[in-house]
Amino acid sequence: MDGFVNLHKPAGMTSHDAVNRVRKIFMTRKVGHAGTLDPAASGVLPVAVNRATKFLEYLSAREKSYRAEILFGTATNSGDLDGEVVARAENFSVTVDEIKSALKFFVGEIEQTPPKFSAIKIHGRKAYDLARKNLDFDMPTRRVKIFRLELVDATDISATIDVDCSAGTYIRSLAVDLGARLNLPATLKKLIRLRVGDFTLADSVTFDELDESCLRPIDACLKHLPKFNLPERRIRAFMNGLPTTVNSADENFLRVMSGGKFLGVGKISGGELRSTKIV
């Protein structure tokens, strides 16, 4: 039983808890996930079982899509409703035009400060552990890309938006920054992850639906990587990490096949193909 599961994580459960539940269902310790989803959020969580765990890194870096409901007039220390309220605004309203105008500011490559209540490591310790102890520390900023921001619905005090973004983007930070652009405190009220690469919410499965038939083949989930057909006589060399001379341009990651069989991921450098991960 090797492969990926397109899991629909429910709200109220950590990604780690979801992995533990999948371990029990498949009766194996070799389970991991691609792209942490906050406990309060629901939606797509790609989960790898057994040998598929080797290839999680090639899914984690893929683009993601979200639907987010943002509440204006309230700010919390975590950027969502699980945190403590740190600011409020009274007697305000925002218009659709104001929200649309503010959203345009965030499309493209932007600099973002992740929430202090996050799993990012600060000097070897998770930021949320430091934040819970009220320790003072600075969060490093990062460059992320927002490919699309679309206003789905709006009221006088909230906005629901669809977001297509790069890996590493924090929607909680986007909610706070959008509020700041409107001169209002803001927090993330609800978040659904709609997509991770080719894993979509429409094709996801719940825990009640999860069984062996839900496993997707490893190579089928890596089709975003260019395919390389390796001669059968070089299979053993590839699996043992030995180079194979090829007449191809340098390529960071390739989905290496031979005779219709998936062997692993390889890299071409200086006219030589070597394995980086094998099944």
**Cβ neighbours around 50 below 10 Å, total:** 16
In Å, how far are 3, 54, 72 from 268, measured between CA atoms? 25, 19, 50
User: Among 27-31, 114-118, 147-151, 191-195, which stretch is predicted with the lowest mean pLDDT?
Assistant: 114-118
CA–chain centroid gap for 262, Å, is 25
Tell me the pLDDT tens digit for each residue of 214-230: 999 999 999 999 999 99
Q: Determine the 3-state secondary structure of 265 from DSSP.
A: strand
Residues 71 and 132 in one domain: yes
Residues 203 and 106 in one domain: no
CATH of the domain at 116: 3.30.2350.10
The pLDDT value given to residue 5: 98
Q: Cα separation of 40 and 52, whole Å?
A: 27
Residues 165 and 114 in one domain: yes
% of the chain at pLDDT higher than 90: 90
11 close to 42: Cβ distance less than 8 angstroms: yes
CATH of the domain at 272: 2.30.130.60
Mean pLDDT value across residues 178-186: 98
Residues 71 and 187 in one domain: yes
Q: Please count the structural domains in the chain.
A: 3
Residues 189 and 215 in one domain: no
CA–chain centroid gap for 23, Å, is 20
Range of the domain at 23: 3-62+198-220
Mean pLDDT value across residues 19-32: 98
pTM of the model: 0.94
Residues 86 and 204 in one domain: no
How big is the chain, counted in residues? 279
Of the two residues 123 and 186, the one the predictor is more confident about is: 186
Residues 9 and 120 in one domain: no
Residues 96 and 157 in one domain: yes
Residue 126 has pLDDT above 90, yes or no: no
Catalytic sites, residue numbers: 38
Residues 52 and 7 in one domain: yes
Mean pLDDT value across residues 251-275: 97
The pLDDT value given to residue 264: 98
Residue 135 has pLDDT above 90, yes or no: no
Mean pLDDT value across residues 235-251: 96
Residues 49 and 93 in one domain: no
Q: Degrees (nearest 5) of the Cα angle 6, 110, 179?
A: 85
Residues 179 and 81 in one domain: yes
